[in-house]
Amino acid sequence: MKTLNRFYIDGQWVEPARPGADDANNDTDANSAPFDIVDPASEERIGTLAMGCAEDTDRAVAAARAAFPAWSETSRETRIALLERIATIYQRRLPDIADAVRQEIGAPISLCNALQAPIGLAQLRAAIDTLRDFPFETTHGKSYVRREAIGVAALITPWNWPLNQIAAKVAPALAAGCTVVLKPSEIAPLDAMIFADILHEAGTPAGVFNMVFGAGPTVGARLASHPDVDMVSITGSTRAGVEVAISAAPTVKRVAQELGGKSALLILDDADLQSAVTNGVAQCMANAGQTCIAPTRMLVPRARHDEAVAIAAAAANTVTVGDPTDPATRMGPLANRAQYEKVQHMIETGIAEGARLAAGGPGRPPGLARGFYARPTIFAGVHNGMTIAREEIFGPVLAIIPYDDEEDAIRIANDSVYGLAGYIATNDAQRARRVAARLRVGSVRINGAMLDVNVPFGGYKTSGNGREYGAEGLAEFLECKSVTM
């Protein structure tokens, strides 16, 4: 049984201000009571997590504020050296990180070893590369423009790809000269504890990096509204992003948001249908469908709808669901009970609204009586007005939607409140560029291209504001000052 009862503040592990007590600002709830860490594969409690309150948050912000003047004036070389030490230690701890993610969110150990753990390292190295050449000062005639660290950055991260989001925020924030307070997801605390240990071992100056666990209504809300926090960067649901923005508004701080998605894969009529559909199913089902950019709407030519459905069903039926410790497992459980219940509700809703089940359906896969396991599910004959085509499910559920022509496919893809990502399958490169230009999304991947952590990532519409990754991601943590001689 693991007991996580410390926060990382001002360069050391400290006890919560009021262990196990409700927040004095909200005596009617238990947001500061200890949180159970649950193994989603067995539904058994494997540990407890101390939850912070406003006092803990204030201590962390004060430490970050005190450390900011010195850290913001450090040289590029000093920051690169720290990030390189962090990356070196992170690489050494990869097996520990992979096992932590497996335990806390149920991701298969094969996925944890191949992606969940290494992607955090990739983010660290990308931030180092960006920092080496970033233009902090540019000349414009008799004027020059300085880009300076914005100040104290509050970072709120989710549980689905925990190390990716932690590293994608912490690394550029430190590279920019900001000091940070991280609030990781309480559902995925084990990897965050390791990450904090790594920064401590790397010699991060006291107060430059701080971490407090806690619930959104307590620690998250306090960070967003805190007058000494200069910006908030959040990855989460659109609902959570809106709440943070509302809390941040009175202090007029910057808010960067990477939020929900309902991404469409447009399989154009010249694409190899077998390959495009099979790859689309794999991308949708990866990480048990708990990926904000997952292509959960598959748009196919109407004349080939039934053929695409048969290919998709066959692909879904080959996904090995089971014990995350088994190297043969390709899909583990959903990360927690609430997510499992939501996915079950959405599958039932799809059936009730008239979509046709081609694979999967309600309940657990055969042979799995315990654990938050869902069945890889394919819906056919979906139209874009159905709930399963409009709302983010965050589970292994794919909706196949027929379209009449290219114009109709683009219209359907853009008919969404979200605009995080889009996918295109075609054999015509120029056609791909033309269609990509018309999609109202923050990123487009063509013919199964992988995520590139060196180019900006973020969304249109209710999928968020601001960008992560690359030079644009670092710039989010900077203020712009013009000086005229």
Q: In degrees, to the nearest 5, what angle opens at C-alpha 222 toward C-alphas 335 and 163?
A: 35
Measured CA to CA, the distance from residue 298 to residue 221 in angstroms comes to: 37
Q: Please name which of 402, 407, 398 lies closest in space to residue 303, comparing C-alpha atoms.
A: 402
Contacts of 372 (CB under 8 A, 6+ apart): 40, 41, 43, 106, 333, 334, 335, 336, 337, 339, 340
Contacts of 30 (CB under 8 A, 6+ apart): 22
Question: Which residues 6+ apart lie within 8 Å of 9 measured at CB?
Answer: 56, 59, 60, 63, 210, 211, 212
The whole-angstrom separation of Cα 141 and Cα 144 is 8
CA distances 355 to 386, 404, 411, 429, 448, Å, are 8, 19, 20, 33, 26
Residue 5: how many other CB atoms lie within 10 Å: 15
Cα–Cα distance for residue pair 157/178, rounded to 1 Å: 17
**Which amino acid is residue 48, in one-letter code?**
T
**Alpha carbons 423 and 414: distance in angstroms, whole number:** 12
Q: Which residues are catalytic?
A: 258, 292
The closest of 119, 117, 115, 109 to 330, measured between CA atoms, is: 109
